[in-house]
Amino acid sequence: MPPTFSPEEINRINALKAYHILDSLPDSDYDAITNLASQICQTPISLISLIDDKRQWFKSNHGLDVRETPRELAFCTHALQNPLETFIVTDSRTDERFAGNPLVTGEPHVIFYAGVPLVESNGFALGSLCVIDHEPKVLDEHQLSALKILAKQVVNLLELRKANHELRKNEERFQLMVSNLEEQVYERTRELEEVNKELAASNKELLKSNERLLQSNNSLQEFAYVASHDLKEPLRKIQSFSSMLSDQYGSVLEPAGLDILNRMKMAGERMSTLITDLLNLSRLSTQREVDIPVSLTALVNLVMTDLDGVISELGAEIIVDPLPVVLGDSRQLRQLFQNLLSNALKFHKPSTPPQIQIKARWIAEENLPDGVQTRGKAIAYHCIDIIDNGIGFDVRYAERIFQVFQRLHGRKDYAGTGIGLAICDKVIKNHGGSIVATSQVGQGATFSVFLPV
């Protein structure tokens, strides 16, 4: 009988399939990571293992000839049970869970195993980055830390692959739309030639079709800025982790290892060029693509995990009250809170640790504050307030800051592109809501997000 999976496991498998990675061709970027993991941990085998409903499939298999094994024999299946922890088996021969496993008693003789779950943006563990030895082994703190860093790089590569796949799909949809519009224009022109008395009305319709095409192009150009911002964040992580590995382990790596690091950096540069090319494409609607229940509490926790390094460096204190579940696009909403929290951390007072509070309240439509403009017809709204103790801004600029490329501070003082809050405004409008900001110079700022109940 086929195995019966829980709803949560079915959702995890579907999340994996959305990356279109299973049974794909070998990729040097993934192979570079397993090669480096094996070298750092001093093990003969390193794998990027992905678990579907029947098997564990290896996207990269350094030191092992096979590309997949049955799911029921996979060590990785056990690693997925606790996505937040590294799963370690020091000696499988003394572990009753694995002592009789054919992968232990026979080839490839998995005696030692350490696997870091590959957790994607919605919290699903897709598989693991693991190292394997034929003898009992213990990894030191630095090796475990490096393995976790490399696992994050694998996830970032997967996210980039998924984003590129979605971009290609949207391009196809846009090309079909353009083709349909061209057909309409052609048919209308033929009718004009046949019936001169309808010339005025037909010309008007033709102008409307051209106007729709122009509006679509404008929306697609705006998308280029959003795509660039979303894709560069994981790219920066890849480049940052590569630099960390170079700084911490460059002196102990063999020339081959250093060459792998250089290849990783070059891959990052190539991806940067790809993102620049994406700026020339116009192929995505400004509407949200999905409408599912999204836990804002879980989503904000994921954002805080992404920003953990900055939070620790600044000594920031972030208090998150219970937040509601809303209907929307989790990817867009995550970008919204990523940008708002990043801004609250960035624009802090010198020598003063940031203090940020996120709280929620329910407001009836007739009680919305002045200046709140919504596109939907909801009778009530969730109001999410992000309150900080930063440098603040002159309230005269409260609307200007949501426009593309509008900055209140020089780049020498605070880094940024000037599009983060414009993205926030677009996401909120896509969800039928509104966002407003209140502040005083030197007294912090409050960004209030209104989402339909």
Q: Which residue has the tokens 């995890």?
A: 12
Burial of 285 (0-12, 13-18, 19+ CB in 10 A): middle
Rg (alpha carbons) of the chain, rounded to whole number: 26
Q: What is the pTM of this model?
A: 0.42
C-alpha closest to that of 267 among 163, 142, 119, 154: 154
What b/e sequence results for 413-428 when a residue is b if at least 16 CB atoms lie within 10 Å of its CB, and e otherwise? Answer: eeeeebbbbbbbbbbb
CB 283 within 8 A of CB 171: yes
How many helices and strands, by DSSP H and E, does the chain display? 11, 13
Alpha carbon 285 to its chain centroid, in Å, reads 19
Residue type at 372 in one-letter notation: V
Q: Report the alpha-carbon angle 412-414-417, nearest 5.
A: 95
Contacts of range 401-405, beta carbons closer than 8 Å, 24 or more positions apart: 401/437, 402/435, 402/437, 404/222, 404/225
Rounded to the nearest angstrom, the gap between the alpha carbon of residue 216 and the centroid of all alpha carbons in its chain is 25
pLDDT tens, per residue, the chain with 453 residues: 456 889 999 999 999 999 999 999 999 999 999 999 999 999 999 999 999 999 999 999 999 999 999 999 999 999 999 999 999 999 999 999 999 999 999 999 999 999 999 999 899 999 999 999 999 999 999 999 999 999 999 999 999 999 888 888 877 777 878 777 777 767 776 776 676 666 666 667 767 766 776 665 566 566 555 656 566 677 777 778 777 777 787 777 788 877 877 777 777 765 664 564 444 333 334 455 567 899 999 999 999 999 999 999 999 999 999 999 999 888 889 989 998 999 899 888 888 899 999 999 999 988 888 778 776 677 889 999 999 999 888 887 777 787 765 555 554 555 555 667 887 888 888 888 899 999 888 889 999 999 998
Amino acid at 434: S
| 179, 193, 197 from 202: Cα distances, Å | 19, 10, 10
Note the CATH architecture for domain 292-452.
2-Layer Sandwich (3.30)
Class of domain 7-151: alpha beta
Question: What CA–CA distance (Å, rounded) separates 153 from 159?
Answer: 10
Distance CA 157, CA 327 (A): 28
Instruction: Name 213's Cβ contacts closer than 8 Å, sequence gap at least 6.
Output: 178, 181
